[in-house]
Amino acid sequence: MTSLPTSTTTKLGLVIDLDICVGCHACAVNCKEWNTGGHSAPLTDTDPYGAEPDGVWFNRVHSYEAGDGADGRTVHFPKSCLHCEDAPCVTVCPTGASYKREEDGIVLVNADTCIGCKLCSWACPYGAREFDVDEGVMKKCTLCVDRIYNETLEEEERVPVCVSTCPAGARHFGDFNDPNSAVSQLVVERLGYDLMPELGHKPTNKYLPPREAASRHAALPEDKSQPKGVLKWLDRVLAV
């Protein structure tokens, strides 16, 4: 595990391996447990055992069937804030409650100045914002800022809780500005992919495509601007 960078020019984020994610929802559940007692105050649930349960979840896992016949497979797709370099949620926020930290690139929400107007959720094309109806403010993934910088924890524990809890090892955390970090090397070796890159928001978090798709993608001509196979499928169906 790459240790947490101390440079003021870091770009912290996640790499998620779609090839080995088993869709167990452990990342989502443990994320909610950690944040309910930590940085973000209780993450509410509405009618959890009723006909229309709802609530605040920083991580959500969607499952899709891709392909047909022998080429078909189930792809489990974890989704949370991507901490975009050009974050539209920050641009539209009328009070400055949504902001991007200069020291590590993490996008956060200041609950004291958020007015709950939901403009950020409308601007986010990835559906990563959550409205807390009890508090009347927007909430989102913080990359566990109360954990990754907590020097009372052992160094190997200073990672987002979704990373530490993943039983398949499908989630990785580190500094994308360090070309030698584990996350940077994974992106190069496995053709790490931006979600909906055509939008130009430059998400920090990357996805590693299923290996079959990566092999086909590597075999394409030099112009790789049009992803094929599962990569193309991801572009189409994950705009949610």
Here the CATH number for the domain that contains residue 141 is: 3.30.70.20
d(CA 220, CA 84) in angstroms, rounded, equals: 28
The count of domains in the chain is: 1
Residue 6 lies in a domain: no
Residue 7 lies in a domain: no
Higher pLDDT: 232 or 139? It is 139
Mean pLDDT check: name the lowest of 48-52, 65-69, 178-182, 224-228.
224-228
Residue 109 lies in a domain: yes
Residue 59 lies in a domain: yes
Q: How many CA atoms lie within 13 A of 175 on its CB side?
A: 17
pLDDT at 229 over 60: no
Mean pLDDT check: name the lowest of 13-22, 41-50, 225-234.
225-234
> For position 142, what pLDDT does the model report?
95
Mean pLDDT check: name the lowest of 26-35, 101-110, 227-236.
227-236
pLDDT at 239 over 50: no
Computed over every residue of the chain, the mean pLDDT equals 86
Residue 25 lies in a domain: yes
Higher pLDDT: 149 or 52? It is 149
Residue 3 lies in a domain: no
> For position 37, what pLDDT does the model report?
73
pTM for this one? 0.82
Q: How many CA atoms lie within 13 A of 15 on its CB side?
A: 27
Structural domain range at position 28: 12-237
